[in-house]
Amino acid sequence: MRSKYHFKFEDLIIYNKAIEFGESVNDQIINFPKEEIYRLSSQFIRAADSIALNIAEGSASSNAQFNRYLQMAWDSAHECIVCSTKARLRGFISEELNEKNRADITEISKMITSFKKHLASKHNK
């Protein structure tokens, strides 16, 4: 359901994909061992949530500033690759779930890269 208090960044497909990925990671870390709560669990969810947070935060800025926030979102997406790999290696998630995470992050990363190029081309005109 769409709120009557709607923000423009909420229309961005990339933002919505990032929100979905963050929720997926949240569902995954619930099954991690309790001793991981302040270690890999925390790092993974913070990195995943940071993708959407940076997109939202940068969206009201100039194109150059937004590009900087998109770079931080891209960096967080790549941090999620490491977290997912570590989770698989430690037996917290399956190989199939790790592959799904990697596919989702690849899609988000490509979208971020394309959006950055789009903003840069607008900035150079």
Domains and CATH numbers, the chain: 10-123 (1.20.1440.60)
Query: Rounded to whole angstroms, what are the CA distances from 107 to 21, 31, 100, 125?
Result: 11, 25, 11, 28
At 59-118, the pLDDT tens digits run 999 998 999 999 999 999 999 999 999 999 999 999 999 999 999 999 999 999 999 999
Rounded Cα distance between 19 and 32, Å, is 21
What is the mean predicted confidence (pLDDT) over 32-42?
A: 93
Name, in order, each residue with C-beta under 8 angstroms of 68's C-beta and a sequence gap of 6 or more.
58
For residue 51, pLDDT beyond 90? yes
**CB 68, CB 58: distance < 8 Å:** yes
Give me the sign of the Cα torsion angle 26, 30, 33, 38. Answer: positive
For the chain, the straight-line distance linking the first and the last C-alpha, in angstroms and rounded, comes to: 38
Give me the sign of the Cα torsion angle 64, 68, 74, 78. Answer: positive
pTM: 0.93
Q: Residue 12: what pLDDT?
A: 95
Rounded Cα distance between 4 and 92, Å, is 39
